[in-house]
Amino acid sequence: MKPRVAIIAGGKSGEHEVSLQSARSVLAALDRDKYEVVVVGVTKQGRWIAADDALELLEGEKTEVRDAAQVSLATQGRRELVPGISEHPFPQVDVVFPVMHGTYGEDGTVQGLLELAGLPYVGAGVLGSALGLDKVTQKNVLEANGLPVVPYQVVLRSRWQREREAVLHGVLDQLALPLFVKPSCGGSSVGCSKAHSEAELAAGLDLAARFGRKLLVETAVNAREIECSVLGNDEPCASVLGEVLPGNEFYDYRAKYIDDNSTLCIPAALDAALTAHIREMAVRAFVAIDCAGMARVDFFVDRETSAVYVNELNTIPGFTRISMYPKLWEASGLSYPRLLNRLIELAVERHRERLATETDYGYDH
């Protein structure tokens, strides 16, 4: 029998719509001669549904979604993990492919659920996923591993709401304008802005605070935006590099998904030594946060000094055919369908590795 792959998409996230775009591409590209595919959608309210047209139902949260079969995910002992209707269990599958960006999907929550259910799944585990999404903690780990990041400050939403003037003065005492402001946990540039003045910094903190409790303020380096795709488990490898030329002032949500006015240059026009250095840093960053399966590692390269900074890792990067992660692998000689096959193989390999760990000490008292 063909292995059954479950694609999970949507979710309670500001990147819900982006997830649906990625899932459509994965669904269209999976080899149906090799896999049986089922789709599980998660609504913006957190309801899990299984239906052939789950992605269509989630678009705009159509009223028909109420009539779709709500599913429950259970362990091998059938203990229900996701509130649902008992007569509609989660489909029996061989591997799960989460295509969920942002909170409640890319942050280790779904990964923990799948671990408890004993299911193989594509991508990083609980720790790698959590570190991948939390930019502040990720920077701490990268710095501890000798990887450079741009100067930054952290602001808690609760303090910003109580002490606005003190926060503004504290940030501007440490960092010079212009600055980037974003929620620590999130992606796709949701809640991200660029501040050129104190007033714009305040507006940026207000915006970021809508999407998270921990806010990140970073120095806006005059830099080129270079990206690298990493693939593998214990022995990851790096793709060729790509460069993003934003159509807007920076590569924000509109530039990524709406305006269609940005350019992706593959391969990036960098000399051989700098290219090799960035690819090596990408693998080091991947290993540092205990990633697995896949990640896109984003870098800043200072236009004047050529200094390289790790911007962030994305453990479930955009997965449309025009997204940077698959395009970089395609330029490296790995086609989109073959990339999906390899990710599924890595998921199964990692699951087997987890099963080799004993959980019963067996100490005789």
Confirm whether 360 is domain-assigned: no
pLDDT of residue 194: 93
pLDDT of residue 68: 65
Q: For residue 93, what are the domain limits?
A: 4-121
Positions of the chain with pLDDT lower than 50, given as ranges: 76-87, 251-259
How far is residue 112's CA from residue 174's CA, in Å, rounded to a whole number? 38
Same domain for 272 and 337? yes
Same domain for 328 and 202? no
Same domain for 270 and 140? yes
Confirm whether 127 is domain-assigned: no
Confirm whether 104 is domain-assigned: yes
How far is residue 214's CA from residue 160's CA, in Å, rounded to a whole number? 10
pLDDT of residue 261: 57
Confirm whether 325 is domain-assigned: yes
Coil vs helix vs strand at 264: strand
Same domain for 36 and 84? yes
Beta strands in 136-189 (DSSP E): 152-156, 179-183
319 with 19: CB under 8 angstroms? no
Same domain for 172 and 41? no
pLDDT of residue 81: 44
Same domain for 335 and 208? no
How far is residue 361's CA from residue 255's CA, in Å, rounded to a whole number? 53
Same domain for 200 and 244? no
Q: Enter the tokens of residue 27.
A: 């669904």
Cα angle 12, 349, 113; round to 5: 25
12: domain CATH number is 3.40.50.20
pTM > 0.85: yes or no: yes
Confirm whether 86 is domain-assigned: yes
Question: DSSP class of residue 61?
Answer: T
Same domain for 189 and 207? yes
Total tally of structural domains belonging to the chain = 3
- Alpha helices of 231-335 — where are they, by DSSP H? 253-257, 272-288, 324-331
Model pLDDT for residues 2-39, shown as the tens digit of each residue: 999 999 999 988 888 989 999 999 999 999 999 999 99
Type of residue found at 114: L
12 with 23: CB under 8 angstroms? no
How far is residue 298's CA from residue 160's CA, in Å, rounded to a whole number? 28
pLDDT of residue 364: 65
Same domain for 323 and 342? yes
Confirm whether 361 is domain-assigned: no
pLDDT of residue 249: 59
Confirm whether 316 is domain-assigned: yes
348: domain CATH number is 3.30.470.20
Same domain for 162 and 310? no
pLDDT of residue 247: 64
pLDDT of residue 150: 97
205: domain CATH number is 3.30.1490.20
How far is residue 148's CA from residue 125's CA, in Å, rounded to a whole number? 24
26 with 100: CB under 8 angstroms? no
Same domain for 156 and 117? no
Same domain for 164 and 269? no
Model pLDDT for residues 247-265, shown as the tens digit of each residue: 655 544 444 444 465 689 9
